[in-house]
Structure 1
Amino acid sequence: MCGIVGILGKSAVADHLLESLRRLEYRGYDSAGVATLEDGHLEVCRAEGKLRHLEQKLQKHPLKGHIGIGHTRWATHGKPSERNAHPHATKRVAVVHNGIIENFRELKQDLIDLGVSFRSDTDTEVVAQLVDRELLAGRDPVAAVAAVLPRLKGAFALAFLFDGKDDLLVAARRGSPLAIGYGRGEMFLGSDAIALGTLTDRIAYLEEGDWAVLTREGVTIRDETGAQVKRTVQKVPAGALLVDKGNHRHFMAKEIYEQPEVMSYAFGHYLDLANEKVAVPELPFDLDSVRSISITACGTALYAGAVAEYWIEQFARIPVSTDIASEFRYRETPLEPGGVTIVISQSGETADTLASLRYAKACGQKVVAVVNVPTSTIAREADMVLPTLAGPEIGVASTKAFTCQLATLACLAVALGRASGRLAEDDERRLVRAFMEVPRLMTEALKLAPEIEVLARTLAKARDVLYLGRGTNYPLALEGALKLKEISYIHAEGYAGGELKHGPIALIDEKMPVVVIAPHDRIFEKTVSNMEEVAARGGKIILVTDPKGAEAAHVDAVQKLILPEMSPAVCPMVYAIPVQLIAYHTAVIMGTDVDQPRNLAKSVTVE
């Protein structure tokens, strides 16, 4: 994903910025750039492609400034190009940015109405121009940033460099991580400790909503209310490893909290956000001749496919069947030549999924692969590859890979709907707007962590847990039960809400926690009926809903976890956050090996 670096140094910083950006190459990127101050004035150097292209430009035209910011970009707004590369600058300010500014379109139009001209297609330039306007109005740099931050809607990390200010960097985070590095007479800024591993071994992590003012003497950090706060400075090993837990106890926690950021890149890759359209690559099949679609996968990826089944049928009106790969391959399902099979795998090496791909191809099917590793065997053998862009996932229990699979499949479903002619342009625009809100909504969902940690103390005492959901939240109930089983070793099962009275209700008693995933949608009242059935038998209900659902559910619940209101189309992505946090905090209380649970492997490459 995008990488940010900032240095307040004692000597020329361009080479150090490049080296720090190299340490972030594992995230993936399509362009890069740096900005420094030369004799107090902003100088920017950017290049499309790999860092070596930027390095070559810097060799021809060295930057000698002692302060600077750098960035590796993965395109969200605007195609990969030098003009869209970061940093984006005016005469007075340069900025680098990770994430998505949801309301950039409205902000940009306001600026255009004031006579501002734009030189890129990005949302980031809007931030630079907004700060520039505040500087022109007479505000000092810190006050200018403070005035702009409340106007920005979305999930982001930002770093600012100012003309004529040789001892000042300003940074802010909302949904995307940032770390502060401490030196002797020097200060550093990075997307994570990895970027700063060669520069310092003293790191502090900004918390959600923090913004920071850095000088060579130190840093002043304020929270989202403006109150000055202290963040713990940690000692990290010199030359930090490529994989780093950051400010988290486990990789799984880090990966849960990375989701607002990685979802920004997944959506940025598959959507034309400026024009509010999907931008999925050309389909390798004639949709007019496709009478049905098969989806096959294993484990968590299977549940992502099950959600996609609802989306594709709703948006494209094409019948879909979702099947476990280990069953699909041996059942010898009749598949029509020219049909479509979608295979989903985090690693791209899952043995049963790979075998299913080969079976589908032998039947003359076109295969679409949704994978996190675009160089994997599944990716190489598929007719079309849709990378999920989740970045490395170390925890065995999938979190960010799952939600990035959902993001990719949601965009594919919209693309199929448009290609089939069954999804109107206005509906496409409405869905794209909903997708743009997901990183911010995930950031809000993460704020439930303290409540969930308290709840987990009760769940940790349970022997069995039920999860209920309807519609797209039924596969999420299955995923929630799987997560709890995987890492806490508590027996859990997920069911469609309507199936409760067909057997599982026999398990309900006063010792049985029941997690109900129920946003206030068109079938909410049906789910309330299921909750009443549980309550009548003494079951302990944990309701995951929104404000309308919380108000309308006149059933006693052990706890209500309340998420913001959102489009039903994005609920599975956002509601995945509390489902993951329930499993994580329960496992931590149980004292299990969260990142490497017993008997499990990250990539299942055998039958």
Structure 2
Amino acid sequence: MCGIIGIVGTRPVAPLLVDALKRLEYRGYDSAGVATLEEGALARRRAEGKLVNLEKRLASDPLDGMIGIGHTRWATHGAPTERNAHPHATEKLAVVHNGIIENFAELRAMLESDGYHFQTETDTEAVAQLVTREMDNGKTPVEAVRESLSQLKGAFALAILFTDEDDLLIAARKGSPLAIGYGDGEMFLGSDAIALAPFTDTVSYLDDGDWAVLTRNSATIYDENGAVVSRAIQKSAGTAFLVNKGNHRHFMEKEIHEQPEVISHTLAHYLDFTSGKARPESVSVDFSKIDRLAISACGTAFYAASIGKYWFEQIARMPVDIDIASEFRYREMPLSKDSLALFVSQSGETADTLASLRYCKSQGLKIAAIVNVKESTIARESDVVFPTLAGPEIGVASTKAFTCQLSVLASLAIKAGRDRGTIDEKEEQRLIRHLSVAPRFANEVLRLSPQIEAVCRELMLVKHALYLGRGTSFPLAMEGALKLKEISYIHAEGYAAGELKHGPIALIDETMPVIVIAPYDKLYEKTVSNMQEVAARGGRIILITDAKGAAHANVKTLDTIVLPDVPEIIAPLIYALPIQMLAYYTAVFMGTDVDQPRNLAKSVTVE
């Protein structure tokens, strides 16, 4: 996750900006920069790599000014170079940005036809040039930002500093989080309260779609319709903890809502959205030299890997063996040295997964790992490490780590398809373009939380539940059942929908809720037949689908949760969110310990 900091202060802000960025280092980054106003003129310092490089720049060429913005970047569009580092600037403004501007190419073409010249490969510069154009047309900074926001498509957070405006910062949030900090004659802006902790413990959080105008003595917040709104001001625990719940009730809820941002940055680590190609420095495996993939994982990571199996086999035509790690090494599977062994673990310390890794290593296989902790044992003992960039996940029930694992697996499958010649350059670009819109759709799904929360008032009353899905929705059904079991303690099972008539249908009666995960795809009609079998026996169906699926269901449901119509490759990432929210709200209503459910640990380090 990129980091944003902004200060409208009463003292030189450059050292304060860097200090705040250091508190955001846990989010990961590949370059950093700050911009201030010196006597009304914009001044910037940027550096590739770690913050120490930026500090050296500032030591040799310091910045003055009592207003400024800072940023740590994960490259999404363009290489992680100083030229592409934030803040991006024109003669009128500087901007920092988290997230993805999906329509940057169209905006860039329009702006270039109007005579605006771009200096970088980034999507962010399109925002800087767009707001500049609106100001060139006579609009004030506030009017220009308001007009520009209506033209942006994607999930993003922005902070903008303007030439000759030493008492004005403008911020906007659509998907990526932003917090406002209140000081004494000073105002602050940050990606989260941790960045603001040295300056203030009084914060408010922008809601999705909000944008805000900050001066030294005020913060005016507007909703996406332009109406002035108030957001709760609260005391932050950011000074005491590395991570905090912000304005969420539980860490799990916070981590569910972080997914648009972490999916964005995980995908961007492996894929260059400008060129539509995988980044060779991040995917350093030549899949053309691999004849088979052996994947092993536990729990939620196993279900992510199971979805990855579909992608590798369909996109790259690569045979995949997948095992629960606790069974893998005892199965004594014949292994070829031309195979790649891939291990998936959030913590990187999972005992069964580590034991399977060591078994494969003893057999002479090349070892790769998908982990969220790059310093973990599994990472250290692997030949190749693919980080998930989810950031700290505090809730025991995995949410954002799961969708980041899916993001990595999808990226690797595309790279494998290109290496093996099963997809051409045009198809690679199409698939990567589809992945790039996942953060926006994830953000849209989060807006369905009131509907999902309402249906959970029914779900909390049951003792058993059944989840059904086909294709990649089958592992999602198992993951949904696992989530419900983990945090609500309701017994649940996930099945392939086609297996219903082979036994589980005996469980169906009017007390049994059946959650059906069914995007309108080539398998949808088959799933409808299974829903009709459930309905005929009085089962209460909760259907998760899209608008076409809802229109063609032809069965009575307890509730139908209608998701956006999304490209096939990102459906597992998007449909993961409602199943997480179903489990979360059910557990909240039941009063269980959501973040630390009984009998469970975040990292399973024993067999």
Q: CA deviation at 1:444?
A: 0.4
Instruction: Go from structure 1 to structure 2 and tell me whether the alpha carbon gap of 1:239 and 1:286 turns closer, same or farther (over 3 Å shift).
Output: closer
TM-score, normalised to structure 1, is 0.98
Aligned-partner Cα distance in 2 for 1:9–1:425: 49
For 1:340, the aligned partner's letter is: L
Alpha-carbon deviation of 1:489? Answer: 0.4
Which residue of 2 is the match for residue 203 of structure 1?
A: 203
One-letter code of the match for 1:585?
Answer: Y
Equivalences for residues 73-84 of structure 1 within 5 A: 73-84=73-84
Q: Which moved more, 1:508-517 or 1:29-38?
A: 29-38
The equivalences for 1:182-201 within 5 A come to: 182-201=182-201
TM-superposition CA deviations, 1:351-406 (whole Å, max 9, x none): 11111111112222222211111221111221211111111111110000000000
2:287 & 2:194 partners in 1: Cα distance?
Answer: 45
Alignment of 1:240-259 (within 5 A): 240-259=240-259
Instruction: Give, in whole Å, the separation in 1 of the partners of 2:348 and 2:579.
Output: 25
Partner of 1:498: 498
| TM-superposition CA deviations, 1:114-161 (whole Å, max 9, x none) | 222211111111100111111111100000001111111111000000
Q: Return the alpha-carbon distance in structure 1 between the equivalents of residues 286 and 334 of structure 2.
A: 20
Instruction: Answer whether contact 1:280 1:411 (CA < 8 A) is retained.
Output: no
Aligned to 1:261: 261
Corresponding residue for residue 534 of structure 1: 534
Q: Secondary structure at the match of 1:465?
A: strand
Residue 281 of structure 1 deviates from its aligned partner by 4.2
The equivalent residue for 2:547 is 547
Is 1:473 aligned to 2:458, yes or no? no
- Mapping for residues 147-546 of structure 1, pairs under 5 Å: 147-237=147-237, 239-281=239-281, 287-288=287-288, 290-546=290-546
What CA distance in whole angstroms lies between the structure 1 residues aligned with 2:292 and 2:261? Answer: 34
What do the CA deviations read for 1:51-98 (whole angstroms, capped 9, x no partner)? 122122222222221111111111111111111111101110100000
Q: Secondary structure of the residue that 2:150 maps to in structure 1? A: helix
Aligned to 1:62: 62
Gaps of 5+ in 2: none
Once residues 297 and 137 of structure 1 are traced to their aligned partners in structure 2, the CA distance between those partners, rounded to angstroms, is 56
| 8 Å CA contact retained: 1:103, 1:152 | yes
The aligned counterpart of 1:49 is 49
The CA distance in 1 between the partners of 2:176 and 2:63, in whole Å, is 28
How far off is 1:236 after superposition?
Answer: 2.1
- Which residue pairs with 1:574 in the alignment? 574
Contact 1:348 1:377 in 2 (8 A): yes
For 1:568 and 1:232, the matched residues in 2 are separated by 39
Deviates more, 1:158-167 or 1:47-56: 47-56
Q: What is the TM-score with the length of structure 2 in the denominator?
A: 0.98
Q: Is the 8 A contact 1:280 1:412 kept in 2?
A: no
* Amino acid corresponding to residue 517 of structure 1 in structure 2: I
Q: Percent identity?
A: 63
Distance 1:389 1:285 in 2: 19
**In 2 relative to 1, CA 87–317 (structure 1 residues): closer, same or farther, beyond 3 Å?**
same
Moved more, 539-548 or 116-125: 116-125
Q: CA RMSD in A?
A: 1.2
Query: Would you say the 8 A contact 2:297–2:324 is kept in 1?
Result: yes
Q: What secondary structure, in the 3-state scheme, does the structure 2 residue paired with 1:453 have?
A: helix
Deviation at 1:288, TM superposition (A): 4.7
Q: Is contact 1:298-1:326 (8 Å) kept?
A: yes
Query: Structure 1: how far apart are the matches of 2:240 and 2:41?
Result: 33
Q: Deviations over 1:388-438 (max 9, x none)?
A: 111111111000000000000001001111111111222211111110000
Quote the residue 1:129 is aligned against.
129
Bigger drift between 329-338 and 485-494 goes to 329-338
Q: Is the 8 A contact 2:194 2:238 kept in 1?
A: no
C-alpha displacement of 1:285: 6.4
Structure 1 counterpart SS, 2:343: strand
* CA distance in 2 between partners of 1:419 and 1:23 (Å): 39
Specify the alignment match of 2:557 in structure 1.
557
CA contact (8 A) 1:194 1:240 kept: no
When residues 130 and 282 of structure 1 are mapped into structure 2, their CA distance, relative to the original with a 3 A threshold, is: closer
Cα separation, partners in 2 of 1:410 and 1:220, compared to 1, 3 Å: same
Cα distance between partner residues in 2 of 1:287 and 1:453: 43
Task: Provide the aligned length of Structure 1 versus Structure 2.
Answer: 607
Contact map agreement 2:41 2:164 (CA 8 A) in 1: yes
Offset from partner CA, 1:237-260 (integer Å, 9 cap, x none)? 472421111110111111000000
